[in-house]
Chains A and B, each alone.
Chain A
Amino acid sequence: MNKILLIAKREIAERFNNRSFRWLMFLGPLFVLGMVYIFLATTTTNKKEWNVILFDKKEIFDTKITPNPPENLSFFFINAFIDYDEFAHQEKYQKYDISVWINEKIVSNKKVMVTYREKLPEHVKRQIIFLVERRMEEIMVDQFTDLSVEKFREIKQSLNFDFRDAYDPKNEKSNTASWVGFSFGALIILFVFMFGMTILRSVSREKSNRIVEVLLSSVNAKQLLTGKVLGIGFSAIVQFAVWTLIVGAGLAIFRSTVFPDMFSAELVADAVNNVNYSAELATQSPFVDLIFNQIQYTNMLLFFALFFIGAYLFYGAFFAMIGASMGSESDGQQFIIPLSLLLLASILSGYFVVYSPSTTLAMWLSYIPFTSPMVMMIELSNGFEDGNAWQLFLSLAILFISAFLMLILAGRIYKNGLLRFNHRLKLKMLIKWMKK
Chain B
Amino acid sequence: MINVENISKYIHHQTILDDVSFTLEKGEILGLLGPNGAGKTTLMRIINKITNPSKGFVSFDGDLMKEQHLINIGYLPEERGLYQSMTVEKQMLFLGKLRGLSATDTKTQMDFWLEKFDISAWRKKRIEELSKGMAQKVQFICTILHEPDVLILDEPFSGFDPINIELIRKELLEFKKKGKSIIISTHNMNNVEEICDRAILINKGQVVLQGTIDELRQQHKEDIYKISFKGNMIAFANALWAGYEIIDKEVHSDDTFTIYLKMRQGNKINDLLNAVIGQVEISSVEEVLPSMENVFVKSINAQNEIESE
A212 within 8 A of B: yes
Chain A residues whose C-beta falls within 8 Å of the C-beta of B99 in the assembled complex: 218
**Residue A213 contacts which of B49, B70, B77, B86 (CB distance < 8 angstroms)?**
B77
B232 within 8 A of A: no
Q: Is the CB of B84 within 8 A of A419?
A: no
B10 within 8 A of A: no
Chain A residues whose C-beta falls within 8 Å of the C-beta of B97 in the assembled complex: 6
B45 within 8 A of A: yes
Q: Is the CB of B67 within 8 A of A214?
A: no
**Residue A220 contacts which of B67, B71, B77, B139 (CB distance < 8 angstroms)?**
B67
A58 within 8 A of B: no
Alpha-carbon gap, A219 to B73, bound state (A) = 13
With a 10 A CB-CB cut-off, give which of B80, B84, B98 has the most chain A CB atoms: B98
Q: Is the CB of B83 within 8 A of A419?
A: no
Alpha-carbon gap, A419 to B94, bound state (A) = 21
Chain B residues whose C-beta falls within 8 Å of the C-beta of A215 in the assembled complex: 98
A216 within 8 A of B: yes
Chain B residues whose C-beta falls within 8 Å of the C-beta of A206 in the assembled complex: 81
Q: Is the CB of A217 within 8 A of B73?
A: yes
Alpha-carbon gap, A286 to B51, bound state (A) = 63
Q: Is the CB of B73 within 8 A of A209?
A: no
Chain A residues whose C-beta falls within 8 Å of the C-beta of B136 in the assembled complex: none
Chain A residues whose C-beta falls within 8 Å of the C-beta of B98 in the assembled complex: 3, 6-7, 215, 218-219
Alpha-carbon gap, A220 to B98, bound state (A) = 12
Q: How close is B53's CB to chain A, nearest CB, in angstroms?
A: 14
Q: Is the CB of B81 within 8 A of A212?
A: yes
B254 within 8 A of A: no
Q: Is the CB of B50 within 8 A of A211?
A: no
Chain A residues whose C-beta falls within 8 Å of the C-beta of B267 in the assembled complex: none
A210 within 8 A of B: yes
A168 within 8 A of B: no
Which partner residue on chain B sits nearest A213 by CB separation? B77
Chain B residues whose C-beta falls within 8 Å of the C-beta of A68 in the assembled complex: none
Chain B 180-205 per-residue mask, 1 if CB under 8 angstroms from chain A, else 0? 00000000000000000000000000
Size class of B's contact patch?
20 to 34
Q: Is the CB of B85 within 8 A of A210?
A: no
Q: How close is A14's CB to chain B, nearest CB, in angstroms?
A: 7
Alpha-carbon gap, A212 to B67, bound state (A) = 17
Which partner residue on chain B sits nearest A432 by CB separation? B12
Chain B residues whose C-beta falls within 8 Å of the C-beta of A219 in the assembled complex: 98
Q: Is the CB of A209 within 8 A of B83?
A: yes
Chain A 202-229 per-residue mask, 1 if CB under 8 angstroms from chain B, else 0? 0000100111111111111000000000
B282 within 8 A of A: no
Q: Is the CB of A10 within 8 A of B81?
A: no
Q: A217-B50, A220-B67, A419-B51 are in contact. Are A210 and B77 (CB under 8 A)?
A: yes
Q: Is the CB of B83 within 8 A of A213?
A: no
Alpha-carbon gap, A212 to B81, bound state (A) = 7
Q: How close is B50's CB to chain A, nearest CB, in angstroms?
A: 5
A17 within 8 A of B: yes
Alpha-carbon gap, A99 to B94, bound state (A) = 70
Chain A residues whose C-beta falls within 8 Å of the C-beta of B142 in the assembled complex: 214
Q: Is the CB of B48 within 8 A of A217?
A: yes
Chain A residues whose C-beta falls within 8 Å of the C-beta of B79 in the assembled complex: 210, 213
Chain A residues whose C-beta falls within 8 Å of the C-beta of B48 in the assembled complex: 216-217
Alpha-carbon gap, A236 to B295, bound state (A) = 58
Chain B residues whose C-beta falls within 8 Å of the C-beta of A214 in the assembled complex: 75, 77, 81-82, 95, 139, 142
Q: How close is A4's CB to chain B, nearest CB, in angstroms?
A: 11
Q: Is the CB of A6 within 8 A of B94?
A: yes
Q: Is the CB of B85 within 8 A of A419?
A: no
Chain B 99-130 per-residue mask, 1 if CB under 8 angstroms from chain A, else 0? 10000000000000000000000000000000
Q: Is the CB of A217 within 8 A of B70?
A: yes
Chain A residues whose C-beta falls within 8 Å of the C-beta of B50 in the assembled complex: 213, 216-217, 419
**Residue A10 contacts which of B45, B67, B77, B94 (CB distance < 8 angstroms)?**
B94
**Residue B83 contacts which of A6, A211, A216, A217 (CB distance < 8 angstroms)?**
A211
Q: Which residues of B (33-85) have their CB < 8 Å from a CB of A?
A: 45, 48-51, 67, 70-71, 73, 75, 77, 79-85
Which partner residue on chain A sits nearest B74 by CB separation? A217
Chain B residues whose C-beta falls within 8 Å of the C-beta of A13 in the assembled complex: 90
Which partner residue on chain B sits nearest A418 by CB separation? B50
Q: Is the CB of A217 within 8 A of B75?
A: yes
Which partner residue on chain A sits nearest B77 by CB separation? A213
Chain A residues whose C-beta falls within 8 Å of the C-beta of B45 in the assembled complex: 213, 419
Q: How close is A268's CB to chain B, nearest CB, in angstroms?
A: 55
Chain B residues whose C-beta falls within 8 Å of the C-beta of A211 in the assembled complex: 81-83
Q: Is the CB of A209 within 8 A of B77?
A: no
Chain A residues whose C-beta falls within 8 Å of the C-beta of B85 in the assembled complex: 14, 17
Q: How close is A364's CB to chain B, nearest CB, in angstroms?
A: 40
Chain B residues whose C-beta falls within 8 Å of the C-beta of A3 in the assembled complex: 98
Q: How close is B240's CB to chain A, nearest CB, in angstroms?
A: 56
Q: How close is A384's CB to chain B, nearest CB, in angstroms?
A: 47
Q: Which residues of A (10-41) have their CB < 8 Å from a CB of B?
A: 10, 13-14, 17
Chain B residues whose C-beta falls within 8 Å of the C-beta of A212 in the assembled complex: 81
Alpha-carbon gap, A229 to B72, bound state (A) = 28
Which partner residue on chain A sits nearest B75 by CB separation? A217
Chain B residues whose C-beta falls within 8 Å of the C-beta of A217 in the assembled complex: 48-50, 70, 73, 75, 77
Q: Which residues of A (267-319) have their CB < 8 Å from a CB of B?
A: none
Alpha-carbon gap, A195 to B20, bound state (A) = 44
Chain A residues whose C-beta falls within 8 Å of the C-beta of B95 in the assembled complex: 214, 218
Q: Which residues of A (227-265) have their CB < 8 Å from a CB of B?
A: none
Chain B residues whose C-beta falls within 8 Å of the C-beta of A6 in the assembled complex: 94, 97-98
Alpha-carbon gap, A14 to B48, bound state (A) = 27
Alpha-carbon gap, A51 to B88, bound state (A) = 73
**Residue A209 contacts which of B51, B70, B71, B82 (CB distance < 8 angstroms)?**
B82
Q: How close is B102's CB to chain A, nearest CB, in angstroms?
A: 11
Chain B residues whose C-beta falls within 8 Å of the C-beta of A209 in the assembled complex: 81-84
Chain B residues whose C-beta falls within 8 Å of the C-beta of A220 in the assembled complex: 49, 67
10 A-B pairs closest in CB distance? A210-B81, A211-B81, A210-B79, A217-B75, A213-B77, A217-B48, A216-B50, A218-B98, A209-B81, A218-B99
A-B contact pairs, 25 of them (CB 8 A): A6-B94, A6-B98, A7-B98, A14-B85, A17-B85, A206-B81, A209-B83, A210-B79, A210-B81, A211-B82, A211-B83, A213-B50, A214-B75, A214-B77, A214-B81, A214-B82, A214-B142, A215-B98, A216-B50, A217-B48, A217-B75, A217-B77, A218-B95, A218-B98, A419-B45
User: Given contacts A213-B45, A214-B75, A218-B70, could you give 9 more A-B pairs where the C-beta distance is less than 8 Å?
Assistant: A10-B94, A14-B83, A14-B85, A210-B79, A211-B81, A213-B79, A214-B77, A216-B48, A220-B67
